[in-house]
Amino acid sequence: MAEAEIFINQVGYRLLDNKNVFVSKATKGESQEFSVIEKASGKSVYTGALVAAPDDAESGGGYFTGDFSSVTAAGEYFVKVGDKESFAFKLADNVYDELTLSTLKYFTESRCGQGICHTGVAEVYGSETGETKNVQGGWHDAGDYGRYVVAGTKTVMDLLLAYKKAPESFKNFDLLGEVRFELEWLLQMQRDDGAVYHKISCYHFCPFIMPQEEKDKLVLAPVSTAATADFAGCLAYASGFYKDTDPSFADTLVNAAIKAQNYLFSHDDEFYINPPEITTGGYGDRDVRDERYFALCSLFAVTGEENYLTQALKLREDKKKDNPDPKHPWNCGWQEGFGWPFVSGYGTEILLEKSEELPQELLAEIHTCIISQAEKYIETSNESAFKYCSKFVFWGSNGAICDLAHTLLIAYELTGREDFYMVAKAQIDFILGANPLNYCYVTGAGTKSPVKPHHRPSGASGKVYPGMLAGGPCGGLFDAYAKEHLAGLPALKCYADAEPSYSTNEVAIYWNSALVYILAQI
């Protein structure tokens, strides 16, 4: 049977979740309703109306939707429209357990070093004395084998915040042990004066080979404010998770964070741009006030020193004066961001953990800011055929909507409003199949998932690693494959399950961690 354009969450739904199906105009035909069919018996358990979904430019319009939230019995089902059938899905309260574990195991699979790969010393770029440094461990960042501080710290924060909010979600995985592997690498990235090298990689990306086959020279890229501030914020926060079991390690993390912050206090912004000899991922950032804010909030939380909070709030007020540019979301004024270029949300979430120590007017302002931001995501979701909560479909869009769902879940915690929770959950549905391409974007999950990710170990071994979140649709068409095959399509259809399409089908640790954060709480 040909694949029907009936779009559902292919992994499934918890019993009491809100449940929606989406259907293309061509598949709907003359049908006015849909049926939910129990797979084992073939019997219809529910019939509902199909109504027109909003027409939006991102999906191209012409879709219909139906609600089957009233189906709450555990089991396996599919949706039928006319004579066409959707992929099967499950209803169970533990429906995301296996998926969550799979996404977590990706980090273990992404470990570098351990006597296997990248075991040589690295050159310190620009050193006049030929300085070298032995840096081992950490997670390979994405489809390549670089290790990047701004990406790694964002990843650690997502995982630790998820663990703090829902520790029961990690009962079958040693999260703190896995995170410690990354933290121990981060400690090696700090210079004696407190500054932090931006990244370690080879000078250029390697072919699609296994990590142990990459033998080119390693290089430590120059220090940057973004890396140093993210390092300070991340390590200070992480220290609290180890203080009872390993107080010495916790102290090491705090002291390294303070050392990094002291460097930041005494140095102007140092923006990272790849030197001409280094062509691996840049992760550059032209505004580091949010990174500095994150570091200061975290250090205030762990030390109680008021000066850290005072300096953080100065940065917050300064950035709030910026005029947002709706055409360029990176010039957005103040936002509680959770992407690697926008880390202010991590600082704010840490402050909320210390809410009893904050002035009431500051707490009220933070609540207003988060709720206002989350309400905009609801508005965007309501205007979308697939309840997608962003107007910007760019590189890493799947990770980005998880980051927006992060904000929605905080707003839900603050208010108890179900609409915040439901829109956050809708982003999981989108990623797991309720999207116009019928893809479950996590490798090895659902019925139709990526089989040709831009991921060197998968390509070199011929075996797709499970539990990896593909970057997803990207309207920018940044790679040659996307330009050739996707031009002219609506943004949410600009995805190719093809190894060369790095702008749509690469994977990354900080996209996986963003998904883990929302899966852990939903």
CA distance 236 to 304: 12
| 207-256 pLDDT, tens digit each | 999 999 999 999 999 999 999 999 999 999 999 999 999 999 999 999 99
Domain, as residue range, for 247: 96-358
Report if residue 476 sits inside a domain. Answer: no
- Give the side-chain half-sphere CA count within 13 A for 88: 8
- The answer for residues whose C-beta is within 8 angstroms of residue 73's C-beta and 6 or more apart is 15, 45, 91
Nearest to 227 by CA among 285, 279, 266, 185: 285
Please give the average per-residue pLDDT across 126-137, as a whole number: 95
Residue 216 backbone dihedrals phi, psi, to 5 degrees: -65, 165
Report if residue 161 sits inside a domain. Answer: yes
Known active-site residue 497: yes
CA distance 292 to 296: 6
Please give the average per-residue pLDDT across 453-480, as a whole number: 97
Query: CB of 265 within 8 A of CB of 316?
Result: no
- The vertex-405 CA angle with 401 and 407, nearest 5°, equals 120
Report if residue 501 sits inside a domain. Answer: no
Report if residue 447 sits inside a domain. Answer: no
Task: Give the single-character DSSP code of 469.
Answer: B
pTM: 0.97
Q: 29: phi > 0 → left, psi -120 to 50 → alpha, else beta; which?
A: left
Report if residue 469 sits inside a domain. Answer: no
| Catalytic pick among 184, 353, 383, 497 | 497
| 22-77 pLDDT, tens digit each | 999 999 999 999 999 999 999 999 999 999 999 999 999 999 999 999 999 999 99
Known active-site residue 506: yes
Report if residue 386 sits inside a domain. Answer: no
Report if residue 298 sits inside a domain. Answer: yes
| 274-322 pLDDT, tens digit each | 999 999 999 999 899 999 999 999 999 999 999 999 999 999 999 988 8
Reduced to 3 states (helix: H, G, I; strand: E, B; else coil), residue 444 is coil
Instruction: Mark out the alpha helices in 389-486 (DSSP H runs).
Output: 397-415, 418-431, 456-461, 480-486
Share of the chain above pLDDT 90, in %: 96
| 323-340 pLDDT, tens digit each | 877 666 556 678 899 999
CATH number for position 239: 1.50.10.10
Residue 76 backbone dihedrals phi, psi, to 5 degrees: -115, 135
CA distance 454 to 504: 9
Report if residue 103 sits inside a domain. Answer: yes
Count of domains in the chain?
A: 1
